[in-house]
A and B are shown apart, each in its own frame.
Chain A
Amino acid sequence: MPRWLGLIVTIARKDWSLFWADRRAAAFAFLVPIVLASVFGMIFQRPAASSASLKLPILIVREEAGPLTQRVIKDLLASPRFEAREATLAEAEASVAERRPGIAIVLPRGFERLNEWTMGGAADKPQVRILHHPMCAAERPWAEGAFTEIAMKRLAREKLAGLLGRESDSAVAPPFQIEATPVAGPRPFNSFSHSFSGMTLQYLLFWGMESGLLFLRERQRGVWSRLRAAPAPLRLVLLGKAVATAGIALMQVLATFTFGYLVFDVTIGGSVVGFVLLALAICALAAATGLLVAAIGGTEARARSVCILVILGISMLGGLWMPAFMLPAWLRDVSLSLPTTWAMRGLEAVTWQGRGLLAVLPSVAVVAGFTLLFLLLALAKLREDRPRLCREN
């Protein structure tokens, strides 16, 4: 074996030995992302079959009893758009305040006046109120639209019945059809694919941080001085450390996705080559992150605090916890500057979206670019830092 390769293997093997020296900690490094990914997946799981008939939970309040009000309420209760039940106004206000559910539709006094409604008429309009929790801004227009559709269908049906002499559903049916087509990929969204990708990615960054902290401890113990006095070039020492970190990271990827496949049907629906390339790039990113932490971290406690903050921040912004489309548009634009965003895009593309190699390559390129940047920064900082290492001693 060439001397340079022997050095890399020696350093990598030592870091592996240190990782496995604490078996429980090593086991947790594999278990935690699996547990978190499973929990997140279950929370966001929507069975594919029922996603088409997703119902909005609402409360209905009637302020006066009347035949038209009664019929509209009956239609609301039967609607496939709503999971509705009746409540008093006080009960609805209390429930909405607690977001259980977050929407209530109040049919006011005077709603019966709609019996006199004519097309194009500008009579005094009763005011239907929609009570909503501040967090349900997205659901409010949904409730508004679906209620309007149901109420107008009821009115139209009754007015046409007067003309036709009978009630006819087909007479009020829209003269067109709607077909919903998912465009992100041929496969339905799998919350487990998302959570296993996200949590794997997040924990690889945490593992990178841990390896960086291990490196910092080496510096504080003086082992780094001994390494620097040995006939081992700095670049080979760093490469050996990076290989060890990336190797363990790759094992974490394999363990997490194997569990996801066996238990939650998380599959590589797209390019397998793309997945492998992306996994390697992400593992290299974890290793480079570790070296950067060791290079600029200062003390272990300070480095840990800053890293946790940064990793949680870029995980959230990168869409690792929940889909990025839930973020405001400007924040999604900002998040394009983060490696986590691109890594997540790539993983989603090759898992539940089932896309090909070309769709993943931009993600691989961006993650590899960040890896190279982190490595160069770490190398430059560690070279420049050599006097400080001595002063620590």
Chain B
Amino acid sequence: MATLNLQNIRLTYGDAAAVDGVSLQVHRGEIVGLLGPNGSGKSTTLAIAAGILAPHSGTVSVEGFCHKTHPEEFARHLGYVPQNHALYDELSARDNLTFFGRLYSLSGANLRRQIPRVLDAVGLADRAGDRVGTFSGGMKQRLNLAASLLHDPVLLLLDEPTAALDPVSRDALFARLTRLRDEGHAILITTHHLDEAERSCDRIAILERGRLVAAGKPRDLLQPSIAGKAVLFGQLRDPLPVFQERAVRQRLGARVELEVTGRRLRLAAETSEELGRSLAFLLAAGVVLESFRSPTGSLERVMRASPAITPEASCRVGSA
């Protein structure tokens, strides 16, 4: 039985579907990454999984407990880590945990035992009495995680937990999540960092405009498109007219892949140098990118390899 079971869930805001027929299962001992661009419905799906939002159709259950029929049992089996540091800055770490623990009916010796345990698990045992307002962003994020572990839930739901973390803190967080997975927790995490999903998730699910467009192991989903190639994903300021796309594609040649879907662009080449030259050509042809990134971490190489990307062109990319 899946720990988290989302079956054909749908939620709309007016006429727009924020989540459209998503089905997803998360089992004990696995980390599932929910990926997608901003506005794709990741956080909404996670909020539905946490029982914060009720879907307009479909069912949600945790360990077999349906949210509609057994809301309390449903809530007791999951720990939710919101994207913001959902803590009271005015209170100490211990007082925060005491409050959140009591919401889950923890009290007395049980609560006194759990608080040092979770603080120790996130490396904050020596700061228990300090006010949260004095903590750094990374420490708050760790405490944020600790608050969701107090009642020892089998399912953990984390909404972009690495959004404001530096690389060292991100690695430390994923090390903790990996340990929790190995202890038998089921973990669903939203992110838009392909690299961290690829490294740390056992499975990933990709959302696009509220629809689940792909799900599977990261190697299966990510590698075919980028294996052995330098790839760049970009966001166009304006949709590319068909004639311009055709002309650009012709000039780039058959060795360079160009895919344009609406305002989204994917460029792939055999080498970083070739990718850099292609990018420079695009910019010179008047294509304006709002942003671009390379999931293979080769962006710096792409930029370095392209002498044609002048400071002006870079500015145009950055400020467009």
Cβ of A173: which chain B residues have Cβ within 8 Å of it? none
Q: A391 at interface (Cβ–Cβ under 8 A)?
A: yes
Cβ of A22: which chain B residues have Cβ within 8 Å of it? 90
Partner-contacting stretch, out of B75-83, B121-129, B164-172: B75-83
* Interface of B (DSSP majority class): mixed
Q: B227 at interface (Cβ–Cβ under 8 A)?
A: no
Chain A residues bordering chain B, tally (CB within 8 A):
29
Q: Scan A362-388; emit 1 where CB is below 8 A from any B CB, else 0.
A: 000000000000000000000000110
**Quick one: which of A226-269 are within 8 Å of B by CB?**
226-233
**B52 engages A225 (CB within 8 Å):** yes
Cβ of B157: which chain A residues have Cβ within 8 Å of it? 229
Contact of B52 among A13, A18, A228, A233 (CB under 8 A): A228
**B105 engages A6 (CB within 8 Å):** yes
**A387 engages B13 (CB within 8 Å):** yes
**B91 engages A21 (CB within 8 Å):** yes
**Quick one: which of A1-32 are within 8 Å of B by CB?**
3, 6-7, 10, 13-14, 17-18, 21-22
Given contacts A229-B51, A231-B75, A386-B53, contact A393 B84 (CB under 8 A): yes
The distance from the CB of B94 to the nearest CB of chain A, in whole angstroms, is 12
**A389 engages B91 (CB within 8 Å):** no
CA distance A205 to B105 in the complex (A): 33
**B82 engages A225 (CB within 8 Å):** yes
**B80 engages A225 (CB within 8 Å):** yes
Q: A66 at interface (Cβ–Cβ under 8 A)?
A: no
**B52 engages A229 (CB within 8 Å):** yes
CA distance A389 to B157 in the complex (A): 17
**B103 engages A393 (CB within 8 Å):** no
Cβ of B78: which chain A residues have Cβ within 8 Å of it? 229
Chain B residues bordering chain A, tally (CB within 8 A):
39
CA distance A13 to B148 in the complex (A): 20
Cβ of B105: which chain A residues have Cβ within 8 Å of it? 3, 6, 231
Chain A residue, CB-CB nearest to B74: A231
Cβ of B87: which chain A residues have Cβ within 8 Å of it? 221, 223
Cβ of A389: which chain B residues have Cβ within 8 Å of it? 52
The distance from the CB of A248 to the nearest CB of chain B, in whole angstroms, is 15
**Quick one: which of B140-163 are within 8 Å of A by CB?**
147-148, 157, 159
CA distance A3 to B103 in the complex (A): 10
Question: Besides A230-B100, A393-B83, 16 other CB < 8 A contacts?
Answer: A6-B105, A10-B99, A10-B102, A17-B95, A222-B83, A225-B52, A225-B86, A228-B51, A230-B103, A230-B104, A231-B71, A231-B105, A232-B103, A233-B71, A390-B44, A393-B159
In the A-B complex, the 9 residue pairs with the closest CB atoms: A222-B84, A222-B82, A231-B75, A229-B80, A21-B90, A222-B86, A390-B47, A230-B103, A10-B102
